[in-house]
Amino acid sequence: MSKIVVVYHSGYGHTQKIAEAVAAGAGAQLAAINAEGVLADADWAALNAADAIVFGSPTYMGNVSWQFKRFADATSKPWFTRAWQDKLAAGFTNSASLNGDKAGTLSYLQTLSNQHGMLWISLGMPPANSKAATRADVNNLGGSGGLLAATPSDASTAEMVDGDLATAKAFGERIKAAVERVAR
């Protein structure tokens, strides 16, 4: 059975909901970076044993949170041994504004995977951008390099946008299919 790990930081729980939806689609294990930017030893072991790693962070000031960046810098240890070379990778971010400079975050997540020599999986879904499109649609924010989600700044975790959660689940399913295709 393929091993997929979703490693993420979430300051206030919203990005965690996206991570959970991706994991539900992918049949993946979750690994949470804590409020100090630290990942448990067991989660590091899971990352090292994974076939695919999905990176997730909220967008804070146009990039990943400092906690995610602390984790990313700590991945220099597996980087030195090329431990993640040729694993599959994917990424997602969530922020308050529809745009919100999420592209900076997603670009950084892909750069992190590139540094490790990983194989990046794009979102692979057409944008919902017709006049009839709504936030309930899959890929309603029109991402391509990875998953984008926008949670209004005053929304609770129970009020997250259905279309974003559906996109996250579908992205997880795509990641699972990609891992299975590579394993064949």
In DSSP terms, which residues pair with 92 in a beta bridge?
Answer: 56, 147
Q: Which is nearer to ligand FMN, 14 or 87 (CB)?
A: 14
Which letter does DSSP use for residue 159 in this model?
G
Query: Of 13 and 126, which has the nearer Cβ to ligand FMN?
Result: 13
Task: Point out which span in 11-19, 38-46, 76-84, 175-183 binds ligand FMN (CB under 6 A).
Answer: 11-19
Closer residue to ligand FMN (CB): 68 or 84: 68
List 6, 7, 10, 43, residue binding ligand FMN (CB under 6 A)? 10
Buried b (16+ CB within 10 A) or exposed e, 103-141: bebbebbbebbeebebeebebebeebeeeeeeeebbbbb
Minimum distance from residue 19 beta carbon to ligand FMN (Å)? 9
Per-residue CA distances from 32 to 36, 65, 164, 169 (Å): 11, 13, 20, 18
Min separation Cβ 159 and ligand FMN, Å: 11
Q: Binders of ligand FMN among 57-116, rule CB under 6 A?
A: 58-62, 94-97, 100-101
The CA distance from 5 to 26, in Å, is 9
d(CA 133, CA 60): 27
The residue with its CB nearest to ligand FMN is 100
Please identify which residue in 13, 34, 114, 162 interacts with ligand FMN, judged by CB under 6 A: 13
Q: Which is nearer to ligand FMN, 75 or 94 (CB)?
A: 94
Output 75 or 95, the one with its CB closest to ligand FMN: 95
Q: Which residues, in sequence order, are CB contacts of 112 under 8 Å at separation 6+?
A: 55, 72, 75
Task: For residue 176, give every residue at least 6 positions away whose Cβ sits within 8 Å of its Cβ, in sequence order, or none.
Answer: 2, 4, 25, 26, 27, 28
Q: From the CB of 98, what's the least distance to ligand FMN, in Å?
A: 8
Q: How many residues bind ligand FMN (CB under 6 A)?
A: 19
